[in-house]
Amino acid sequence: MVINGLGQSLTNQRWVASSGSSSVDPVNPVEPVNPVSTGNSVSSSAGRTALDNKELGNRGLRLVLEDTFDGPFDTSKWNQDVTLWGGGNSEFQAYTNLAQNTFTKKGALHIKPTLTADKYGESFLTSGRWDMRAMYGTCTQSSSYGCLREGRNGFLNPAMSGRITSKATIKYGKVEIVAKAPKGDWLWPALWMYPKSHTYGGWPRSGEIDIMESRGNRHYGNLGVEYMGTTLHWGTANVNRYTMTSKKTKSRSGTLADGFHKYTFYWTEAGMKFYLNDEKIVDFPTPSQGFFRWGNLPGANIWGNSKNAPFDHPFYLIINLAVGGTNGFFPDGVSNANYNKPWRNSDRNSPEKFWKSKNLWYPTWQGDDASFQIDSVRIWQLN
């Protein structure tokens, strides 16, 4: 989710990719997976399942987080990010703690993208002063002018959205999320895990676990909302070996936005296994020689004798809905339904180009269908 290995350079209030990529999608074959249901009735339980027995044997699980979103958004379980940062990918959204972007409705969490101009007026994008601490009471990421931007110094983030992080962490265990992906051009939903501490240094040295990333575009080559990616990020400060641990999956029928789907992740010392609707999509076993040697990484082994480092320390869960970006997740030159992508990943004014093409993409954001909807989240620590 973060940067994906591209070089970055600071231009005014934007981090711009200094070398493009035709695609950041994995090289593995695409394997279709059937949906479990097309409504809020995906089988999910806090109790032990046959799949648990298969993957964990007689090892126990301790439930550390359960949220079915039947009441108000629970700040005792979740933190909210508030920042203009752009996720390290020059994304176009601001993350807020406003109820318009993160709310519960009919037993589901909604993370909904909105237009900045609808909240503050279109002139705000070029002349406004966006002070996150003054306007929202906090700012959670100051990098890349994440806490304060002014329109006179560069076009402001044209969209607003939400990103939440779990207060619970695990080192090995199980994560189960029942979710419905959003429909809408240039929407980027993600379910992923990030280390509680930079035990081995900054990204990607301490690891990252992407359970699911997708795109809201209905017809965007073979990269639209019927596809998802699962990826582990790991490496040195300058080398990310994510292509060795990536898998692309396609829903067998319909899209990931046509109904609720169950995403399950098992994590032990022996490796990681990922399921979509109780069907295994990929297994990343811990390399016998350790990740450093398996990845043929340069320099001294930053992970020492731990075979499964950097995936051997506590991680927390992140759920977010990004908009656009220039890191290559939305590649240039890919056919999109009815119109071409409004910006190029090398553009220095990509947020402005995106906004000025609103008449093309905004009609695809249809009400709650543009929301990333989460029916339930459960996280277990492995005993």
Sequential pLDDT tens for the chain (383 residues): 544 333 333 334 443 333 333 333 333 445 566 554 434 545 566 788 999 999 999 999 999 999 999 999 999 999 999 999 999 999 999 999 999 999 999 999 999 999 999 999 999 999 999 999 999 999 999 999 999 999 999 999 999 999 999 999 999 999 999 999 999 999 999 999 999 999 999 999 999 999 999 999 999 999 999 999 999 999 999 999 999 999 999 998 899 999 999 999 999 999 999 999 999 999 999 999 999 999 999 999 999 999 999 999 999 999 999 999 999 999 999 999 989 999 999 999 999 999 999 999 999 999 999 999 999 999 999 99
Q: What are phi and psi of 336, to 5 degrees?
A: -120, 145
What are the DSSP E strand ranges found in 196-291?
Answer: 208-213, 227-233, 246-251, 261-268, 271-276, 279-285
Pairing of strands 102-105, 163-170: unpaired
Neighbours of 53 (CB within 10 A): 11
C-beta of residue 284 within 8 angstroms of C-beta of residue 272: yes
Would you call 161 helix, strand, or coil by DSSP? strand
The closest of 37, 36, 35, 62 to 48, measured between CA atoms, is: 62
Q: How far apart are CA 18 and CA 21, in angstroms?
A: 10
Question: How confident is the model at residue 253, as a pLDDT?
Answer: 84
State the pTM of this model: 0.91
Q: Which listed CATH number (2.60.120.200, 1.10.10.410, 2.40.30.10, 2.40.240.10) goes with 33-323+374-382?
A: 2.60.120.200
Strand residues in 287-371 grouped as ranges (E): 315-323
Q: 148 and 189 in contact (C-beta within 8 Å)?
A: no
Q: Hey, how many other C-beta atoms are within 10 angstroms of the C-beta on 54?
A: 11
In angstroms, the CA 328 to CA 18 distance is: 11
* Per-residue pLDDT at 9: 35
Question: Residue 263 and residue 212: Cα distance in Å, rounded?
Answer: 8
* Total count of residues recorded for the chain: 383
Separation between Cα atoms, residue 262 and residue 39, nearest integer Å: 11
Taking alpha carbons only, the member of 173, 176, 177, 175 closest to residue 60 is 173
Closest among 1, 20, 62, 38 to 378, alpha carbons compared: 62
